[in-house]
A and B are shown apart, each in its own frame.
Chain A
């Protein structure tokens, strides 16, 4: 009985933490006003937000049912894919010049997103030139 009580409280606490972080992430998405800073709120706070919600699910499953470890997989896949989507949004921002132009790299010529082959230059967005 006490174990069930502890499980319930732990799951509830995790749900609250997860919901809190998710809320903060959404607030950040609404509040920031340029695309690059806006990118920070959801990709970050979402990781721990979703993590805490999944942890609550694991605790609940182990307390009341046979236990479940699917959540670990969800977490793993999320950690592998989240940086990639963030990276692509950042690349789009750089490509469309909707953020400050980044400083040139010290050793190589340019950033790979800005490295457009000669033949394709005319199809580039006009705002850059």
Chain B
């Protein structure tokens, strides 16, 4: 009973927290009033928009998500330097761009979106398209000698972790 009331009032608890944080940051003022107003917004907005969010992802591991974000931010920093090096030193004629196809083990749209976003944010790779039934992801690589290695890397580094986050 109590659980049902809770899930009616807060259909997306994480979204509520996120909205409250965004509101407080927007005000640039961490005071009780602002936090409370942020929480009120965080309750009202998900309630009003809940018909457009048919289902929330089941089983989301916040701790693993934080660890995943740290890995991704580190990768972005390292890869940025690598791409800057490629831009400055590799002439166009020696550049080896490639399409790679990543078979998707993830099924939830949220997880696939996160994987595609991660791939695009990591320099050197852009996720370009999804196959029409959502079983593979098309990725463009700026410069690689071994496309299969890039594919394996993405699988072990990101896809496996995302699978653990959304299991």
Contact = CB atoms under 8 A, between A and B. Distances in A.
B95 to A, nearest CB: 6
A47 B132 contact: no
Nearest to A51: B76
A115 B132 CA distance: 7
B137 to A, nearest CB: 9
B130 interface: yes
Nearest to A72: B25
Contacts, number: 136
Which secondary structure characterizes the binding site on chain B? mixed
Query: What band does the interface of chain A fall in when counting residues whose beta carbon is under 8 Å from B?
Result: 35 or more
B126 A39 contact: yes
B123 interface: yes
Contacts of B99: 100, 102-103
Contact of B128 (A24, A68, A90, A109): A90
B161 interface: no
Interface string B129-154: 11111111010101000000000000
Interface in A18-70: 21, 24-25, 27-28, 31-34, 36-37, 39-41, 43-45, 47-48, 68-70
8 contacts: A36-B97, A44-B123, A48-B76, A94-B129, A106-B101, A108-B132, A108-B136, A111-B129
